[in-house]
Amino acid sequence: MNRPFPPLPGRLLLLACVLLPFAVHAAAPAPTPWRVGAAARKLTPPGPVWLAGYANRTAPSAGVDLDLHAKALSLDDGAGGRLVLITLDLIGITAELRAHVEREGATRFGLRPHEILLNASHTHSGPLADPARMMVEQIFRRSARPEDVAATEAFAAALRTTVVELLGASLAAAAPARLEFAQARAGFAMNRRRPEPGGGISNNPHPDGPVDHDVPVLRVAGADGKTRALVFGYACHNTTLSGNLLSSDYAGHAQRDLEEAYPGVTALFVTGAGGDQNPYPRRGVPGQTSEQLARQHGRALANAVHTALAARPRPVAGPLRAALAPALLEYDPLPPAALTAYGPATHTPEVVARARALAAAQTRGERPAPLPCAVHVVRLGSDLTLVAIAGEVVVDYALRLKRELAGPAAIWIAGYSNEVFGYLPSRRVLAEGGYEAVGANTRLLIHPGPFAPDAEDRVVARAHALLRSLQP
Ligand SMILES: [Zn+2]
């Protein structure tokens, strides 16, 4: 006899099997104590400015390819733990900007230094905003007209105001939220330290070099479950472009793509340990301009964020705890013969004066003061740990910290955070030499020499110690 339905107990089971998945899916998510607020401001200057990043530019910007933004996300765990993340479409963050934001953040909003995290996208098509550093000495002061100097100073002032304003705006926008973490990968970053047959390291694509292709994503949903903000990271220089147009490069395109895909969402890009990584191809290839390539890399990164969200985001619970402290990095002295190479025929008077002062200090047996490298650790319960390091952090730091901190919490490594003082090479990179080890940091004697080989160990030890201090 045909029985179209199983007997009663079986029927109930069948009914439950059919209905349960819907019931689970439709259940309202449990409320969380998180309160999160996002805010964004355009940073694009109103007129031509000198751009930062490439020393071969000979004129101010010639137009806009893609707008630059500053964005903020305030996180409050409802139990006294809070953090404001500020992301900037800029080449870096000066110590002066960081100090200003800390000061104003404390005075106006009662924020403590460890409650403010700044990260720069390292676009090489953003304005010069550092009136005291290398590009200024090397080119800008020599070539700039008074109106160019005024435009740069106006941008630097507007930047300071905007960042402080964003702290307040993101705190004021705080609303009940849920957090989720997810991760996928994108492949356009490649190691750029190519060993040459005759010895030495050149700045060229090196497919066999180490990379970190992870794309970590923090999704912020409102009480209604709708996406409100997306924070995502990638370890790669933001240098697809090399022209003289203002642009936020691939990181800007990725943010814009996501904001178009999710209307009303604020997308924030966090640069990872991409100090020795470049986006490839770059600077144009046959049939494609550099602007088209930047758009493609941005789309690839946005697609990785979509993929991460489709995978299976994990809920992120509090409490939020953060700690910020410097690792003190010692310098190896430059040989006296190297210092004599900084002469007036090839260098500006400022650089020559620094070389002479360094040589005199060496003669007196003095060692340069160590550099404080900010290490910022943010722990979101046992679900997510973010380690954000100052400087142009090379990829070895991310790979090592992800290995050493592996555990129940997802590990997110950011570079270019809180201050960008130049490159932060690893022990391996220092031993190999090349641009990220010595060349970039000592080219204009912004640093008195290369970092000592234990720089990596000091930074990693600081990260471990800070994380231990945050254990419940
Ligand atoms: Zn760089």
pLDDT per residue over 165-190, tens digit each? 999 999 999 999 999 999 999 999 99
State mean pLDDT over 421-449.
93
Q: How far apart are CA 190 and CA 279, in angstroms?
A: 6
H/E segment holding residue 217: strand 214-222
448 domain-assigned? yes
For residue 275, the CA-to-ligand 1 centroid distance in Å is 6
Is residue 148 predicted with pLDDT exceeding 90?
A: no
Residue 142: per-residue pLDDT? 66
For residue 392, the CA-to-ligand 1 centroid distance in Å is 6
17 domain-assigned? no
Residues 447, 349 share a domain:
no
For residue 69, the CA-to-ligand 1 centroid distance in Å is 19
Range of the domain at 290: 35-325+372-469
Q: How far apart are CA 88 and CA 71, in angstroms?
A: 7
Is residue 226 predicted with pLDDT exceeding 80?
A: yes
Residues 126, 48 share a domain:
yes
Which has the closest alpha carbon to 386: 404, 403, 419, 409? 409
Q: How far apart are CA 280 and CA 301, in angstroms?
A: 13
Residue 57: per-residue pLDDT? 86
Q: How far apart are CA 377 and CA 183, in angstroms?
A: 19
**Given pLDDT bands bounded at 50, 70 and 90, which one contains residue 365?**
very high
Q: What torsion do the CA atoms of 304, 305, 311, 316 make, to the nearest 10 degrees?
A: 140
Residue 439: per-residue pLDDT? 86
Rounded to 5 degrees, what are φ and ψ at 117?
A: -120, 120
16 domain-assigned? no
For residue 202, the CA-to-ligand 1 centroid distance in Å is 15
Sign of the dihedral through C-alpha 48, 49, 55, 58: positive
22 domain-assigned? no
State mean pLDDT over 431-441.
92
Residues 352, 226 share a domain:
no
For residue 125, the CA-to-ligand 1 centroid distance in Å is 12
Residues 353, 221 share a domain:
no
29 domain-assigned? no
Residue 140: per-residue pLDDT? 60
297 domain-assigned? yes
For residue 436, the CA-to-ligand 1 centroid distance in Å is 9
Residues 348, 203 share a domain:
no
Q: Whole-structure pTM over 0.85, yes or no?
A: yes
State mean pLDDT over 21-41.
70
For residue 92, the CA-to-ligand 1 centroid distance in Å is 9
284 domain-assigned? yes
**Given pLDDT bands bounded at 50, 70 and 90, which one contains residue 29?**
low
For residue 308, the CA-to-ligand 1 centroid distance in Å is 27
For residue 439, the CA-to-ligand 1 centroid distance in Å is 12
Rounded to 5 degrees, what are φ and ψ at 15?
A: -60, -45
Cβ atoms 325, 284 nearer than 8 A: no
For residue 172, the CA-to-ligand 1 centroid distance in Å is 34
- The total number of structural domains in the chain stands at 2
State mean pLDDT over 17-34.
52
Within 8 A by CB and 6+ apart from 130, the residues are: 52, 92, 94, 136, 156
Ion ligand 1: residue ranges with CB closer than 5 A: 392
Sign of the dihedral through C-alpha 200, 202, 207, 209: positive
Residues 385, 352 share a domain:
no
362 domain-assigned? yes
